[in-house]
Structure 1
Amino acid sequence: MSVQELVGYDKAAVRSILDAVRAEGRDSLTAPEGRAVVEAYGISTPGEGLAANPEDAVVLATRMGFPVVLKIVSPDILHKTEAGGVIVGVTDAAAAADAYRTIVRNAREYDPDARIAGVQVQQMLTAGHEVIIGAVSDPTFGKIVAFGLGGVLVEVLKDVTFRLAPTSPETARSMVEGIKAAEILRGVRGAEPADAEALAQLISRVSDLVTDFPEISEVDLNPVLATATSATAVDVRILVGAAAEPPARFTREEILASMNRIMRPASVAVIGASAEDGKIGNSVMKNLVNGGFAGKIHPVNPKASDILGLPAVAGINDIEGDVDVAIFAIPAKFVPAALEEAGAKGVAGAILIPSGFGETGNQELQDEVVAIARKHGVRILGPNIYGYYYTPQHLSATFCTPYDVPGGVALSSQSGGIGMAILGFSRSARMGVSAIVGVGNKADLDEDDLLTFFEDDEHTQLIAMHLEDLKDGRAFAETAQRVSKHKPVIVLKAGRTAEGARAAGSHTGALAGDDVVYDDILRESGVIRAPGLNDLLEYARGLPQLPTPKGENVVIITGAGGSGVLLSDACVDNGLSLMRIPEDLDQAFRAFIPPFGAAGNPVDITGGEPPSTYRNTIALGLEDPRIHALILGYWHTIVTPPMTFAELVVDVVDEFRARGIHKPIVASLSGDVEVEEAAEFLYRHGVVAYPYTTEKPVAVLGAKYRWARAAGLL
């Protein structure tokens, strides 16, 4: 049963208050109005009353009992403390009267034109943990809810977590447990714990409130005092505005109908095809032809009769039969007219390579081509892109060079420069790729459409995306949550700044301007965030090589104590759990290592050992079902040279794979330049290995573990 069903919300009362606020042209609720709104949703507040004069303040304070708090009530003063409009700890009648006069005087000095409804007299609560619970309308994700430490701590520590609204009870509970200071709320050093369930219910009620009334732009309950038996909203701030129009969305079926034709076209037209070297239209034609695309290729150029041995046509309407994709290699100003023709022809996708649209400030032209595309049911990729690849079709619809290493990784980038880096890395590492897609301005097709296609694409096992923003973050999060259950989704989010916080009108709004919103919501959706470009690419390359772990027990086997320490640090940094080696397993390892070595974890076999020591200890790690993943730290020695180490590792791993034992194994190789060849050999044979670094192999393993946990596989 939902919180709403249990509590029985008074929506009519909230509607009446919001309508009155709107009628007065206000964008914020007064404190008494805010209190009435949250109480209509079952949220407790302290006893209070509105005083119109000092005498009223004395009567109210005496009735509810000292100490009390007095606060200015004005629709024009949002930040009461800044205006000197709050006095706490009022302990007697005389102080209550004086506090009333002081607050009104301060408010007049702060804003002489402010409308003053009176002074709120509120019961002063002193017991409990201070937390903040709020909601905000995020431009990317829509309605989101927040939870964290409250009062002054929210300003200093910013220990806050965010989720999409509406939240489930389980999600609300995860928020209470998800902040760094969760241990404080459980009670430390004899302190009373907070009622976690009461806090979770309060989060759910705020979430339901902003979902039911989209015109509520921000809710700030700060502080909420949480005791062992209750959660009370001491201060309430609510802002209102016009409800945002939900982004236009396509159904999953509509997306797949278009994307299947775009990614698997039978016929492609190149508008602006050229026979002249150095022209984009020439490069696109060469890549389609030289890349081995087996479908029909139609060059469109009114001034040519033949391009690369293919007959050219003056316009797309001159092509006989259907055309799935039109690639535009013409100046931006000519795109609208050409798109009208392509739309009339019935193309599914318009690939807009040219720049000169929204990225240069010409939003009007970009909006025009989107409107034309919508009229004809055409989906646009771009504009301002390098094109796209889909290797199962040998399709290189781009002015970059063809890519011919098919595999299971699909990559996309919002930036052309990052796209070039993706292409170069993939080629250098011989990474098997199903697709590389540039999305550019994302006038239409975006990451959500790509995820929807790659979800069902049998050729794709992992999706890695560089993005600077999300056009519809909620749609992306919902799609990613579904896709990531069976395929890893890795995201490099650029632009991790708090610029959006500057104009916020509440604590919640200011905190929501931080990158933590992306971090929390993407993680909740099962997305693995990469901290940098190289991390994105190495995760994409490495995760498909690693079997899914069956448990959390990680063991380090190393030939150098120094590497073992660094590898242990890397495990902590990446959320990996070093196994506590039981006595019988400890003795089993000791049977293979010298007396001056060290069992435990890391298992230090020391540097002078022969290949057999590496082989035996690795075999033991693979054999024992209590060990779920291995990290190997190799140290270059004459006794066990790098390639000897690499070959024995591959040999023993293959032996156990043949027996049906598959565990993730990563390796760090330290030594002279020969370790480079050894690491490459290991990687080619399914062991993720790197020379000269202890951090990178563990980071890849950590990413695999984060995905497995999010997908519910551990």
Structure 2
Amino acid sequence: MAEDRAAAVRRLLDAVRAEGRTALTAPEGKVVADAYGIAVPGEALAADVDAAVAHAARFGGPVVLKIVSPDILHKTDAGGVVVGVEGADAVRDAFHRIVANARAYDADARIEGVQVQELLPKGQEVIIGAVTDPTFGKVVAFGLGGVLVEVLKDVTFRLAPLDTDEAAGMLDSIRAAEVLRGVRGAEPVDRGALAEQISRVSRLVTDFPEIAEVDLNPVIATPEGALAADIRVILAESVPKPRPTYGREQILASMRRLMQPRSIAVIGASNEPGKIGNSVMRNLVDGGFSGQIHPVNPKADDILGIKAYRSVADVPGEVDVAVFAIPAKFVAPALEEVGRKGIPNAVLIPSGFAETGEHALQAEIVAIGERYGVRLLGPNIYGYYSTWQDLCATFCTPYDVKGGVALTSQSGGIGMAILGFARTTRTGVSAIVGLGNKSDLDEDDLLTWFGEDPHTECIAMHLEDLKDGRAFVAAARETVPKKPVVVLKAGRTAAGARAAGSHTGALAGDDAVYDDILRQAGVIRAPGLNDMLEYARALPVLPAPKGDNVVIITGAGGSGVLLSDAVTDNGLSLMEIPQDLDEAFRRFIPPFGAAGNPVDITGGEPPATYEATIRLGLEDPRIHALILGYWHTIVTPPMVFAEVTARVVAEFRERGIEKPVVASLAGDTEVEEACAYLFARGVVAYPYTTEKPVAVLGAKYRWARAAGVLT
């Protein structure tokens, strides 16, 4: 039976396409809805006014009349909808009025008749829909519906298909979720019926990729069910060609040779200072890369004292990576030689491809790479760093501080900002990778590798787009349970100009899809560049929390208030201090201090008060995370506070008690040194800000929940 229904939809869509149309009429939408069990009210098509009267009489009670035209998508805008029509005379009047309005709206519109539909019961208006997102493919939407849907934009998105349990989760993800549960004496809506409608729409668009958009708006949700008052279906002009895909083991095998190479060829290596080929060679040699380096330059016998080869084909033995440092116009023939040599990776530093409008040139190198199985990093990149291999394959400044943070960027300028931040903060990195035009290798390849890399503890990625959002989500879901993934998505409004034929399409035309789906994948989205870098630096430092109870201990009341605000802003929970714990804190603070939460020990207290209260916070198992607010005084100087705090945290760590501890230090410039001291010893500390340490703690909590560490 399901196959018969699918066949009916297939015949209908083929017929619509044969007529050169992309939009289904309301009666055609009813065929689709019935085939997939999408609940809609009773309705019939009236070709003339007498048929409209007869249909209305059969339904009994008030009805809705809607114009049916393949050329009028937005019926309300055309004056093509009349609601609550009852009685023969009223039906006749509404019929003629709707047709006249449609003619006035579009004199050339084809009018097939008027749809007569049962009047829906009163209930909560919501929207259910699906859209083909350029990044993530088929995406399902749910939110508040009605005429103000595009104004309110209270909507959430998920990848299709999804089952009813996943669909039910969408109901709690909108700001007005409480409305669905019933407010001011209203009964809750039938959540199961709504979830079923969402799931059925997701299966429809998955089964028929040529469906670009589906719009059920409004859906009337009541305690007894959910009915779609209107279904709009829009077909795509064309279905995009699928991109080549690689299995997990294929990706890991290629990435292993890229990130842990034993032999590198530099095509365009040069002895001339100022040339990119010279800079790459110097960085490889000076960086201490222990593998083989093979300069390729037909006009040189040696480069920096290393034997040079006229062609990569002349290089003896296996080569893992070919780094290109030649002009764009010479890349394709050199890449052919790389392919014939069987080199699995090409790092394409040159610019002058798609980013400058040379799409054909980029398409040519992609085709060569696919033909020979060469994975391409770039073009238009600064290169890459793999610090644990002492590998610096870039024309930028070297960096060799080994650590657990992997950083990637789509932009060279952002890449250098990453480098500068890492150097200033002494952040240890496992890799820094430029992605540029992403002609082939992209974020999901890197995520797959870094997820398995034992040297990488946290991954941070700057991106302007994703070539394959679904592949990225799949890689993120594999990686997040093992380590945090932080993303800075630039161009948050770039997709807003995309034309849409439905409310769902219009709502999906901004950043909301990225935001929702990245969150569902467990990715921590950073609001800005500095936030991304600070999250990456701090998250490996903090242990995972084991519960939600956060306590603030502060020497300054003002800082305590701001820290409390930041706790709320970052979705954290201030612990309600029980009486026994309150009394325990009061034993250490002066009478004019304040227990509760924040615990205000006041600014004039000696180091012993800080130590005693921090000890209590770490000792009590009901407290799961500490936020410290320090105020610079001569009684407790910054470095004294830092040394005390670090010593106590280290002592508890040795006892097996680890809790995330972050600190905000307010004071003169001495607090900068104190923060650096704390950071190096496992306490994430920042000077002159109450927001940043709490934001980092909030990011750690978001990862812990996404990873299943904290439920």
Give the TM-score taking structure 2 as reference length: 0.98
Corresponding residue to 1:254 among 250, 257, 266:
250
Corresponding residue to 1:413 among 405, 409, 412:
409
More displaced, 86-95 or 695-704? 86-95
Residue-by-residue CA offset, 1:9-65 (whole Å, 9 max, x unaligned)? 822222222222122221111101101211211111112111111111112112212
Residue 381 of structure 1: CA displacement? 0.4
**Equivalences for residues 182-197 of structure 1 within 5 A:** 182-197=177-192
Counterpart CA distance in 1 for 2:465 and 2:311 is 36
Which letter maps to 1:197? G
**Counterpart check, 1:32 vs 2:27:** yes
Residue 304 of structure 1: CA displacement? 1.0
For 1:281, the equivalent position in structure 2 comes to 277
Counterpart CA distance in 2 for 1:171 and 1:152 is 27
Aligned with 1:105: secondary structure?
helix
**Counterpart check, 1:635 vs 2:631:** yes
Kept after mapping to 2: 8 A contact 1:501/1:511: no
Corresponding residue to 1:538 among 527, 534, 540:
534
**Equivalences for residues 84-95 of structure 1 within 5 A:** 84-95=79-90
Kept after mapping to 2: 8 A contact 1:501/1:509: no
For 1:452, the equivalent position in structure 2 comes to 448
For 1:680, the equivalent position in structure 2 comes to 676
Corresponding residue to 2:589 among 593, 606, 615:
593
Corresponding residue to 1:691 among 687, 691, 697:
687
Which letter maps to 1:100? F
More displaced, 451-460 or 40-49? 40-49
Aligned with 2:293: secondary structure?
strand
For 1:161, the equivalent position in structure 2 comes to 156
Kept after mapping to 2: 8 A contact 1:49/1:120: yes
**Equivalences for residues 56-455 of structure 1 within 5 A:** 56-241=51-236, 242-455=238-451
Aligned with 1:631: secondary structure?
strand
For 1:620, the equivalent position in structure 2 comes to 616
The structure 1 segments of at least 4 consecutive aligned residues displaced by more than 6 Å after TM superposition are none
Which letter maps to 2:329? K
**Counterpart check, 1:480 vs 2:456:** no
Which letter maps to 2:360? E
For 1:570, the equivalent position in structure 2 comes to 566
Kept after mapping to 2: 8 A contact 1:54/1:98: no
Counterpart CA distance in 2 for 1:662 and 1:52 is 74
Residue 153 of structure 1: CA displacement? 3.3
Alpha-carbon RMSD across the aligned residues, in angstroms, is 1.2
Counterpart CA distance in 2 for 1:464 and 1:477 is 15
For 2:709, the equivalent position in structure 1 comes to 713
For 2:697, the equivalent position in structure 1 comes to 701
Aligned with 2:487: secondary structure?
strand
Counterpart CA distance in 2 for 1:137 and 1:514 is 13
Equivalent pairs counted in the alignment come to 709
Counterpart CA distance in 2 for 1:344 and 1:248 is 20
Counterpart CA distance in 2 for 1:116 and 1:10 is 27
Which letter maps to 1:417? G
For structure 1, list consecutive stretches of 5 or more residues without a partner in the other structure.
none
Kept after mapping to 1: 8 A contact 2:130/2:141: yes
Kept after mapping to 2: 8 A contact 1:146/1:160: yes
Kept after mapping to 2: 8 A contact 1:70/1:121: yes
Give the TM-score taking structure 1 as reference length: 0.98
More displaced, 444-453 or 85-94? 85-94
Which letter maps to 2:469? G
For 2:18, the equivalent position in structure 1 comes to 23
Residue-by-residue CA offset, 1:97-150 (whole Å, 9 max, x unaligned)? 011111111212222222211100111114110000000111100000000000
Counterpart CA distance in 1 for 2:587 and 2:15 is 80
Aligned with 1:137: secondary structure?
strand
Residue 398 of structure 1: CA displacement? 0.4
Aligned with 1:211: secondary structure?
helix
Identity %: 73
Aligned with 2:539: secondary structure?
helix
Counterpart CA distance in 2 for 1:367 and 1:502 is 24
Counterpart CA distance in 1 for 2:244 and 2:187 is 48
Residue-by-residue CA offset, 1:329-384 (whole Å, 9 max, x unaligned)? 00000101111111111111111101000000000000001111111110100000
Counterpart CA distance in 2 for 1:640 and 1:299 is 59
Counterpart CA distance in 2 for 1:97 and 1:326 is 77
Which letter maps to 1:156? V
Kept after mapping to 2: 8 A contact 1:501/1:512: no
